[in-house]
């Protein structure tokens, strides 16, 4: 949520759009024209959020086998310029971009969306965290936590295996690669938990984490992400 100080600063020092460099004239460094042109995920599977034709409600994969989370909420299709923005956020440590994307996410969740009890960002292995300097999923979750005034848990869940990058792997290899990668130090107490990630691709990572969270006593588990990759 914005404050009077935010509004004052943007009035005195108007924001500049991260895409076109124009003054935004708003409390966000993204102009309305560029925001409208982003690849919004307008129609998706009601469960896994993969982009679908408008006449479909649930994808074939979810019809055959439901994922271990109740549903995934994603706001963008992972394509230009969102893919470039997320890359700059993660690899070039541009935290401003991350905050903008997280703000768009929280402002675009469906009407009637009920905030979870607890946010759990997908953890990075300590070597990756040390190299990058921050966890992009935790930065996104921090914006959601502030907006909803709900707890953010970055301590209970850890990544104990430094897995290979999922990018070049097949779906089966991704599932095998991520198996057993996470650990949870203490049980949950029936909370409704939202896993937060920047991009959901095959869903293997969030599915593995959701299964573990459910086995540790969560009441339900869902996924919230900035973008969803069409497969």
Residues 153 and 181 occupy one common structural domain: yes
Determine the Cα–Cα distance for residues 173 and 225; give it in Å rounded to an integer: 22
Residue 122: the pLDDT is 97
Residues 33 and 46 occupy one common structural domain: no
Residues 176 and 64 occupy one common structural domain: yes
If you compute the radius of gyration of the chain from its CA atoms, what whole number of angstroms results? 18
Residue 20: the pLDDT is 95
Residues 136 and 150 occupy one common structural domain: yes
CATH assignment of the domain containing 104: 3.40.50
Determine the Cα–Cα distance for residues 108 and 4; give it in Å rounded to an integer: 23
Residues 118 and 30 occupy one common structural domain: no
Domain ranges, residue 12: 1-37
Output the pTM of the full model.
0.90
For 172-220, the pLDDT digits (tens) are 767 887 888 899 999 999 999 999 999 999 899 999 999 999 999 999 9
Residues 17 and 68 occupy one common structural domain: no
Residues 52 and 80 occupy one common structural domain: yes
Task: Kindly tell me if the per-residue pLDDT of 11 is higher than 80.
Answer: no
Residues 10 and 67 occupy one common structural domain: no
Task: Kindly tell me if the per-residue pLDDT of 8 is higher than 60.
Answer: no
- Mean of per-residue pLDDT scores for the chain: 90
Output the six-digit token pair for 61. 């994969």
Residues 104 and 216 occupy one common structural domain: yes
Q: Give yes or no for a contact between 217 and 189, defined as CB atoms under 8 angstroms apart.
A: yes
For 107-156, the pLDDT digits (tens) are 998 878 889 999 999 999 999 999 999 999 999 999 999 999 999 999 99
Residues 17 and 47 occupy one common structural domain: no
Task: Kindly tell me if the per-residue pLDDT of 10 is higher than 60.
Answer: no
């Amino acid at each position: 949520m914005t404050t009077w100080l935010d509004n004052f600063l943007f009035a005195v020092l108007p924001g500049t759009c991260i895409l076109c460099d124009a003054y935004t004239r708003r409390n966000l460094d993204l102009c309305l024209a560029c925001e409208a042109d982003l690849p919004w995920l307008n129609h998706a599977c009601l469960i896994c959020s993969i982009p679908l034709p408008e006449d479909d409600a649930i994808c074939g994969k979810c019809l055959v086998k439901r994922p271990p989370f109740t549903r995934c909420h994603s706001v963008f299709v992972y394509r230009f310029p969102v893919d470039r923005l997320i890359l700059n956020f993660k690899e070039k440590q541009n935290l401003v971009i991350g905050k903008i994307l997280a703000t768009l996410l929280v402002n675009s969740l469906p009407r009637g969306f009920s905030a979870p009890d607890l946010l759990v960002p997908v953890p990075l292995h300590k070597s990756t965290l040390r190299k990058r300097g921050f966890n992009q999923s935790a930065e996104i979750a921090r914006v959601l936590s502030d907006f909803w005034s709900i707890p953010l848990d970055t301590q209970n869940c850890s990544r104990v295996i430094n897995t290979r990058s999922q990018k070049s792997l097949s779906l089966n290899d991704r599932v095998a690669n991520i198996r057993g990668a996470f650990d949870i130090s203490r049980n949950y107490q029936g909370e409704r938990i939202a896993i937060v990630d920047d991009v959901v691709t095959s869903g293997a990572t969030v599915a593995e984490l959701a299964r573990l969270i459910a086995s540790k006593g969560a009441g339900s588990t869902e996924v919230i992400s900035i973008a969803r990759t069409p497969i």
